[in-house]
Structure 1
Amino acid sequence: MPIQALPVNAAGSAARHRDEVRGLWLGLLGVVIFAITTPMTRLAVGDVGDPQLTPLFVTAGRAAVAGLLSALWLWVARAPRPQRHQLREFAITASGVVIGFPLFLALALREVAAIHAAVITGVLPLGTAVVAVLVLRQRPSRGFWICALAGCGLVLGYAALQGGGRLSLADGLLLIAVASGSVGYVYGARLSTAMRPEQVICWVLVGALPLTLPLTLWAAASVDFGAVRGGAWLGFGYVALFSMWLGFFAWYRGLALGGTVRVSQVQLLQPFVSMLAAVPLLGERLDSLTLAFALAVIATVFIGKRMPVRGAA
């Protein structure tokens, strides 16, 4: 009966709206967690003049800690094991988000400020879109490729200006980190269509334990723990517990509740949060040139993600 249908429809609409709002807030929480990763990683590894934990120890250690927590969580949740045909995608995801992105980011942050890294890695959402286009064999519009090239040109131009007309090794490492993260995000997203998203990151981390746990113990031999400050351990604890584990719980759940297209837009805030966090955490200074380039990069990401992309032919 029509009179009875209205309340049902209204209730369904209200429930969807609540899910969208929750999704946006969880997505924002995930973005804030990931954004603070950059200054916290810098805090953990220190710089050339005052090194703290080594980049390899931070990379392997954060994944090992998160992997052990993931194993416990999967056991409590009685999560089903991945299928054999999914192992290749799990391996690719791990190579990107467990090894590639954290390692190259940590190596670069020994050489450059966190604010500088935030501008370069600000193109990560657009890089992820490019990898998705290639992996899924989609046909993007000309405008999409123009935005992708413009974003790449902006980060290269910024790096060259900051480096006195040339790119530094650290800038190259940051670009490799962006490429690694993009690949890992895309393959992780593909796995998330077949199993619960939070289970994906946990199985990725557990699957990497045979590598990350021994590597952590080996890397520990080259760390002078007596010279490591408490702030470095704070940074390490953050990237292990939040960046490598809990951040994915919030982010993936937000995407599921609020919708990927809507929630993913909050990624545009990530470079700004990283830069703002670097000021009190590291004492870095945010100048007008850096802010201008950050705004320009975010603009290309914003426009590029709205360019039409057709499915595979």
Structure 2
Amino acid sequence: MRAESSATSPSPIAVTAPREPLGVGLGQAALGVLAFSLTFPSTAWGLESFGPWSLVAVRAVLAALAAGGCLLALGVPLPARRHLAGLAVVATGVVVGFPMLTTLALQTSTTAHAAVVVGLLPLTTAALSALRTGARPSRRFWLAAVAGAAAVLAFTLGQSGGALTGADGYLFAALLVCAAGYTEGGRLARVMPGWQVIGWALVLCLPLSVPAAAVALALEPVHLTGHGVAGVLWAALGSQFLGLVVWYRGMAAVGIPRASQLQLAQPLLTLVWSALLLGEHFTAAAPLTAVAVLVCIAVTQRS
């Protein structure tokens, strides 16, 4: 990889990454949501073989190796110094913070419960985006976003008997750090390819993730199973690398607030995967929540 030189350019000009057509951008963001919807079931599988700290560290290392290999093979220059702070926010939010907090939560929470709590992520991302980038969505957009979040929250409380669980503390913290990572990553994806945003964020974490994996694997028991290996591979390569590649490209094309609302469908997709892959059961409230959420998505996309 060749370093980018700023000494020879006294007035660096930010080169904006090519914008995708609206339909293509929405399609890429939707693929990202589909990949993310499998994150909790794959994490539950991974916990069959690894401890929580081992799982988080190993998935980060595997994703970083894949990303670093792509960056090296394509001869991508090192990111500009002015982008390092933003990449650090992405790394903290989506590479370290969100996987760690949600994995800890899934030790005591079902994937279905975790999925509906994290369904509040679109509203959190839209709010942070407005503060960070100066975006000003319409009033109708905000009303629809709040309505979708309220539907998800009502479903969550109904599933847990009207009270939040201890794991919800981890999940709510995960919402904040992930929304910050999404917001900063979406901003960076406007000036550099989305796959490079998550690629460099993953590589930046290697000095932390490699020793963390070594220590965690030495301290936590490992019992390799087919489910466990498949789970950690999907969490690393599907969710943490490829999913974020198309997600950031989509956000750059259609805007952070609009793309973030597509994630209102993510908890419902995760419920389906939880039933199919894990045998979990959910109540009849799920289809009603699905209809309400999809209506809210339609409104936000037209706003």
Question: Into which bin does the TM-score normalised by the smaller protein fall?
Answer: 0.7 to 0.9
Instruction: Determine whether 1:277 maps to 2:273.
Output: yes
Instruction: Determine the structure 2 residue equivalent to 1:234.
Output: 230
Deviation at 1:152, TM superposition (A): 5.3
Instruction: Determine whether 1:32 maps to 2:28.
Output: no
Deviation at 1:120, TM superposition (A): 1.1
**Pairs within 5 Å for 1:26-175:** 26-46=28-48, 52-139=49-136, 153-175=150-172
Contact 1:126–1:304, Cα closer than 8 Å, also in 2 = no
User: 2:194 is aligned with what amino acid?
Assistant: P
Contact 2:123–2:261, Cα closer than 8 Å, also in 1 = no
- Distance of aligned partners of 1:228 and 1:182 in 2 relative to their CA distance in 1, 3 Å threshold: same
Deviation at 1:228, TM superposition (A): 4.0
- Distance of aligned partners of 1:25 and 1:164 in 2 relative to their CA distance in 1, 3 Å threshold: closer
Contact 2:51–2:221, Cα closer than 8 Å, also in 1 = no
TM-score (norm 2): 0.82
What CA distance in whole angstroms lies between the structure 2 residues aligned with 1:152 and 1:25? 22
What CA distance in whole angstroms lies between the structure 2 residues aligned with 1:165 and 1:66? 38
Instruction: Determine whether 1:212 maps to 2:191.
Output: no
* Greater gyration radius: 1
- From 180, 186, 199, the equivalent of 1:183 is 180
Report the aligned-residue RMSD.
2.8
5+ residue gaps in structure 1? 1-17, 47-51, 308-313
- Distance of aligned partners of 1:162 and 1:23 in 2 relative to their CA distance in 1, 3 Å threshold: closer
Contact 2:41–2:111, Cα closer than 8 Å, also in 1 = yes
Q: How many residues align?
A: 283
Kindly provide the CA deviation profile for residues 23-81 of structure 1, in whole angstroms up to 9, marking residues without a partner as x.
454443322111111111111124xxxxx412221112111111112111111111121
What CA distance in whole angstroms lies between the structure 2 residues aligned with 1:180 and 1:108? 15
5+ residue gaps in structure 2? 1-19
What CA distance in whole angstroms lies between the structure 1 residues aligned with 2:86 and 2:172? 22
Q: Share of identical aligned residues, percent?
A: 38
Answer 1 or 2: which has greater helix percent: 1
Instruction: Determine whether 1:267 maps to 2:263.
Output: yes
Moved more, 279-288 or 246-255: 246-255
Moved more, 294-303 or 87-96: 294-303
Instruction: Determine the structure 1 residue equivalent to 2:15.
Output: none
